[in-house]
Amino acid sequence: MDSADKNGTGITEDGSDMSLCGNQDIYMKFLRTAGDYDLSAAAHRRHLVTYSDVSAVGVTSRKQLPVRFFGKRDEPTAFSALRIATGKVLPAQKIKVVLGFSGEAYAPEDIRVFLNAKPCRLIGEQAPHTQQWRDLRYFGFEAENDGNFSPVSVIEIGLCEGKTELHWAEIEIYE
C-alpha cells in the first residue's frame, strides 16, 4: 500500500501518522536530537510566532498576530515588528522567513521584509506545510546569515501598496 501523505493531513493512505508522536522513527530522532544542543542547532527546524501564556499582574500581554497592513505608494511605508526566538544558528545554515497573508488586494513584490534590520529577498509563493492554514497565501523571503545571528530575531514587515492581513510568521533554518 502507498504510504505517501498525498492529502497533506499528516496521515498517510495506509493510515500511519507522520506527526512527531505518531511515528516511532520520527519520535526517536526527535528525542536523540532534542537532548543534544549542538545537534538541535544543526537540525532543519522552523520557529513560529508564539504567545505568552502568562504575564505579570497588571501587565497586559500583546498578541503579535494578526497584523493589518495598508500601503499607499506615495506615502512612507509603515512597518510592524514581530519577535521570534530561534536559538543558535550556525554560520553555514540558510535562513528563510515565511509569512502567511489573507486577501488578494496586494502584490507580493510590494511586501518589504527585514530580519534583524537586514533586508530579505522575496523567493516567491510557496505551498503551505501541514500545520499551516490552507486559506492563506504563503511567501518565502531569503535572509542573510552573516554568522552573527541573534538567538531572538525581529522581523519587520511593511506593505508599499495595497491592503492585507498577516496571520502566520515563522523563521525556517536549514542546510
Q: In sequence order, which residues have a C-beta less than 8 Å from that of residue 78 and are 6 or more positions away? A: 69, 70, 71, 158
Q: Is residue 87 part of a domain?
A: yes
Q: Is residue 92 part of a domain?
A: yes
pLDDT of residue 26: 75
Q: Which residue has the higher pLDDT, 130 or 127?
A: 127
pLDDT confidence bin for 64, thresholds 50/70/90? confident
Q: Is residue 64 part of a domain?
A: yes
- State whether 129 and 91 are in the same domain: yes
pLDDT confidence bin for 11, thresholds 50/70/90? very low
**Residue 157 domain boundaries:** 45-174
- State whether 151 and 78 are in the same domain: yes
- State whether 152 and 76 are in the same domain: yes
- Report how far residue 132's alpha carbon sits from residue 100's, in angstroms, rounded to the nearest whole number: 9
* pLDDT > 90? residue 54: no
- Report how far residue 98's alpha carbon sits from residue 128's, in angstroms, rounded to the nearest whole number: 10
pLDDT confidence bin for 37, thresholds 50/70/90? confident
State what percent of residues in the chain have pLDDT above 90.
Answer: 54
- Report how far residue 27's alpha carbon sits from residue 45's, in angstroms, rounded to the nearest whole number: 15
pTM of the model: 0.79
Mean predicted confidence (pLDDT) in 11-34: 65
